[in-house]
Structure 1
Amino acid sequence: MKKYDAVVVGGSLGGVLSAYSLAKKNHKVLLIEETDWIGGQLTSQGVPSDEHDFIEKTGCTKTYREYRNKVREYYRNHENIIDELKSKEVFNPGNGWVSKNAHEPVLAHKLLNEMLEPFNNLDIWLNSKVIKANFDDFKIYEITVLTEDKYVTVSSKFFIDATDNGDLLPITNTKYVTGAESFDEYNEPHAPKIAHPLDMQPITWVAAISYDEGGNHLIEKPAMYDLFKSYQMPFNESVLSWYAAGLDLNSKRLFSMFATKGTEYENTPAMFTYRQILEPKHFKNQENVLPTTLLNWPQNDYFLGNIIENNDIEYHKYAAKQLTLSLIYWLQTEAKRCDGKGFGYPEIMLSPKTLGTSTGLAKAPYIRESRRIKALYTIKEQDINKRYALKKPKYFDSVGVGLYHIDLHMTTETKTYFFDETWPFEIPLGALIPETKQNLIAGCKNIGTTHVTNGCYRLHPIEWNIGEVAGLFVSYCLENNYTPHEVYKNKKSIKDFQDKLILEGVQLEWPDYVFKEGVK
């Protein structure tokens, strides 16, 4: 048996930061990751950072800001970078418009590994999975991990579930919820009358694609292409089209590849640049540099099933890959071009090196909605939605901040989707603590949100903050011989922990100017 002070299950973005926070406090830590890459949505899932408008000045932790600076430093020091960027403090490496700092997943993976590399007190087990656990109603004692074809028993004082799906929760019989809660549960304005536990936001199997001017890189027709081509969305368009769900139910939006000026697509969102992570114009020698983007579009959101509470998980993973490949094939063969040259972009090619795979598909699917703990405090829509919260959100136990719209992609059962504005919000400590388990903390998208509020608490800077604080909170409990519940019941202890977070560079509230300027 191996013994640790803390075990972080899941090498998600939150898991990496949990492990980092614990290791730098000199605790003996184990990080367990099911794939061969740490970093979750930023790396193995291939999703560039979604960031709010104030990110260059405020609204993230010190470590997240340091990470962003390292990304730009890497490009500044690149031997092939143009001179203009060598001295520029703020620039967007990939020029994607979803992020102020778009960059390649392979670089993100490198930088996250460099963060963890100095710690001799941190063990990292890749390609490893928790199989079972020894626990009672209040405590987890040990887990059994399948790693390197061996079953290894691990005991620990504390556990952090930082898996993207909340995988440790059912294994340890920790209370959790999936899908949509009913209106009666929390009186949320957008909650359905009846709970739908299987009605979840879709997964997306991201692909990296480059644009090779004049090239022809047609892929083989995917096996499920005809099925997806004939599938009609609720707004009466094929899933494989330039149309996607709008901002409210049954509405639709028109997209295009490049939004070419002087055409009918001029004022549409340009999807190639949406998540672009490689910009040839930033390099002196562009011979081997192609514009590259990550294909995480509404059109390849897989809404035909979930991979959490399902008997056909492997099928749905396969089908999600097929949808992405079908979208690529459609783009290459049938998509109307916005340059007036007919149909199809055979210039599109898969870009494997960007994602560290042989196929150009991500190592794992992007998970929007996890199992969520039944927490000491659950974040509700009326806490943060501008329509219903009469004043800016304020939690007495704030351990961080975040900002994103409530953005529910088309769900797997009721095919519901909507988009609404939020106040800049805070992260309450109570949302990280399960109702009953005394030595388990949520460290990822599995905190105490609802189906609705998960739609805005799932973004990169927020998950980073959650994971970092989860690690620091476990460290605080270890150093003071507290249980998380004891801390939560004592406002003096909460204030003491918050003071320590401030010293670590964790922002607990938004400056007034953010509310005055408004969210764009």
Structure 2
Amino acid sequence: MTPGHSPDVVVAGGGLGGVAAALTAAALGRTVVLTEELDWLGGQLTAQAVPPDENAWIEGPHSSASYQRLRAGIRDYYRRNYPMTAAARDDVLLNPGRGLVSGLCHEPPVAVAVLSEMLAPYVSSGRIRVLMRHVPVAVEIEGDEVRSVTVRSLETGVEQTFDAPYVVDATELGDLLELGGVEHVIGAESQDETDEPHALPGPANPLDQQAITWCCAIEHRPGEDHTLDKPASYDFWLAHESGVWPGAQLSLADVDPGTLIARELPLFGEVADSKIPRTRWCYRRIRSADQFTGVLTTDVSLMNWPQNDYWLKPLLGVDQETRQDALEASRDLTRSLVYWLQTAVARPDGGTGYPGLRLCPEAVGTDDGLAKAPYIREGRRIRAEFTVTENHVAVVARAGLGGPEQFGDSVGIGAYRIDLHPSTSGRTYVDMDTHPFQIPLGAMLPRRVRNLLPANKNIGSTHITNGCYRLHPVEWAIGEAVGALTSFCLSEKALPTQVRSDPRLLADYQRLLSGTFGVPLEWPEEIRTRPLADAAYRLDAASTPLPAGA
């Protein structure tokens, strides 16, 4: 594919949804331009340094064949390249970090490599053209149709314009929606609009947005001193009391999001009976030294904690200076948390601080050990043909109805609690149990624009249901469905809205998803009718659930 050639699909954003969309469209014979702002593909899984938040059934048949290939590829990469113990190498369900948050906690660079492997044959053939370090800068719309997307290289400043039959917005914040004037929502809707019990009772508040978190990777080297220079905002955060959990921001105390009861998780803990300690360290540990040999002698853990959630300023609906201030403050909060752990946290032996805690640049691909980008929980969301609300998936809202709403236009499935972190309006956690749910096609179709489709956190969810539709396997499923839809529409010479409204087209499209790509479209009744809390939702060695808090 040469510059100036018109691809079949332009995908802006190389997170999980964008990669899945590109892979799927290419597998169906389409040409794709995939752009990414950073120098890593993978979004929340890699550049944002968030281990996969999944569900208790993810190891079975309840995700697509391609998502299973991604997970298997990560495990195989370790087996091929890492010095491991025999027990770890032979473990079919290898969890390199033995983290509590997921059955597959791993180092971000490994996922980057595996995603590149999955794309390689399509890149080699020219079917997918990947433009790294490129951002969209303009979207031309004529009537109700996107005519072109212009992207700019962050390295050279050179701009390229692509006109394509279909455009996919897989950016973290839904950038194409704003550039193209596509109708969208930011922040929290009014209860009058969504009829959700947990929506705002008053007017909508666009500036009520979930916290971001600038994650980082750390290891512990006792006897060494890796203490940071004191961050500029350390004294502020040391004294800051947010009101969303007991005590100061820099502490190990917080609130169980499900019960709002105060709790404290220690930083470290002793291993007993081969079970994983329920500690901060083990929650998102991505390398467990006891599974490796040779030079890999230390654990590595990712810090995506309540204590480095940043919500004082929003990213959307504000000027560029305010957004940049929020990003810098988020980074400094994470540095302050690390500095506090190095110098001031109380140790069980009566001392203070762990100076041997070291930020790990090699684990996140940066110079300072902080992730390449902040973990974005909430961006712009399309005004969709159909909007999924709390009333469709939440256990309490569905009481007596036999499980979640069943969607005849399902294009995939997911399972996660409604898990909203503290927001920029000062609201604390919104956390509630859900049933395993479906992803309706109607939530992926803008009300007006005909050939732009979302493939990230920008589908037709609400501020509330974003809390369960924003996780790794759901984002992948959305991207996969979008990639297949673009190709299907080109073959059938039909618009996405026609696919949804025409029973024959919808059935053929769903058969393409389930038959060709192994995408499950519904949960077995025995799973979907149960609350997630009934399952071993977060698994540790004792097979007991942990509270939500991704």
Q: Same fold (TM over 0.5)?
A: yes
| C-alpha distance in structure 2 between counterparts of 1:249 and 1:96, whole Å | 23
Counterpart of 2:45?
42
For the pair 1:109 / 2:112, whether they are aligned, the reply is yes
Counterpart of 2:520?
507
Matches within 5 A, 1:74-473: 74-78=77-81, 80-119=83-122, 120-147=126-153, 148-193=156-201, 194-234=203-243, 235-247=245-257, 251-260=261-270, 269-285=278-294, 287-311=295-319, 312-337=322-347, 339-389=348-398, 390-393=401-404, 394-473=406-485
The question of whether the paired residues in 1 share the 8 Å contact of 2:415 and 2:437 is answered with yes
Write out per-residue CA displacement over residues 351-406 of structure 1, whole angstroms, 9 at most, x where no aligned residue: 00111111101111110011100011100001000001122221111111100111
Bigger shift: residues 66-75 or 240-249: 240-249
| C-alpha distance in structure 2 between counterparts of 1:248 and 1:90, whole Å | 29
Deviation of residue 347 (structure 1)?
1.6
Write out per-residue CA displacement over residues 194-220 of structure 1, whole angstroms, 9 at most, x where no aligned residue: 211110111111111111122221111
Aligned residues: 515
TM-score (norm 2): 0.91
Deviation of residue 282 (structure 1)?
0.8
The question of whether the paired residues in 1 share the 8 Å contact of 2:247 and 2:253 is answered with yes
For the pair 1:53 / 2:56, whether they are aligned, the reply is yes
Deviation of residue 519 (structure 1)?
2.6
TM-score (norm 1): 0.96
| C-alpha distance in structure 2 between counterparts of 1:448 and 1:376, whole Å | 8
The question of whether the paired residues in 2 share the 8 Å contact of 1:102 and 1:276 is answered with yes
| C-alpha distance in structure 2 between counterparts of 1:268 and 1:118, whole Å | 42
The question of whether the paired residues in 2 share the 8 Å contact of 1:376 and 1:435 is answered with yes
The question of whether the paired residues in 1 share the 8 Å contact of 2:246 and 2:255 is answered with no
Write out per-residue CA displacement over residues 94-145 of structure 1, whole angstroms, 9 at most, x where no aligned residue: 1011010111000000100111111121111111111112103410101221
Matches within 5 A, 1:486-497: 486-497=498-509
The question of whether the paired residues in 2 share the 8 Å contact of 1:255 and 1:268 is answered with no
| C-alpha distance in structure 2 between counterparts of 1:307 and 1:397, whole Å | 33
The question of whether the paired residues in 2 share the 8 Å contact of 1:188 and 1:381 is answered with yes
The question of whether the paired residues in 1 share the 8 Å contact of 2:172 and 2:456 is answered with yes
The question of whether the paired residues in 2 share the 8 Å contact of 1:332 and 1:347 is answered with yes
The one-letter amino acid paired with 2:402 is: K
| C-alpha distance in structure 2 between counterparts of 1:267 and 1:95, whole Å | 8
The question of whether the paired residues in 2 share the 8 Å contact of 1:249 and 1:418 is answered with no
The question of whether the paired residues in 2 share the 8 Å contact of 1:254 and 1:268 is answered with no
Counterpart of 2:542?
none
The one-letter amino acid paired with 1:431 is: A
| C-alpha distance in structure 2 between counterparts of 1:519 and 1:3, whole Å | 48
| C-alpha distance in structure 2 between counterparts of 1:90 and 1:167, whole Å | 37
Counterpart of 2:17?
14
Secondary structure at the counterpart of residue 371 of structure 2: coil
After superposition, the Cα gap between the structure-2 partners of 1:37 and 1:79, relative to the gap in structure 1 and judged at 3 Å, is closer
Q: Which runs of 5+ in 2 are unaligned?
A: 537-550
Q: Which runs of 5+ in 1 are unaligned?
A: none
The question of whether the paired residues in 1 share the 8 Å contact of 2:389 and 2:462 is answered with yes
| C-alpha distance in structure 2 between counterparts of 1:467 and 1:151, whole Å | 26
After superposition, the Cα gap between the structure-2 partners of 1:463 and 1:79, relative to the gap in structure 1 and judged at 3 Å, is closer
The one-letter amino acid paired with 2:509 is: F
Write out per-residue CA displacement over residues 478-520 of structure 1, whole angstroms, 9 at most, x where no aligned residue: 1111111111111221111111111111011112332477433
Write out per-residue CA displacement over residues 163-216 of structure 1, whole angstroms, 9 at most, x where no aligned residue: 010010010010000111100111001001121111011111111111112222
Write out per-residue CA displacement over residues 396-436 of structure 1, whole angstroms, 9 at most, x where no aligned residue: 11111100111110001132322110001010011111000
The one-letter amino acid paired with 1:57 is: G
The question of whether the paired residues in 2 share the 8 Å contact of 1:203 and 1:365 is answered with yes
Q: Superposition RMSD on alpha carbons, in Å?
A: 1.8
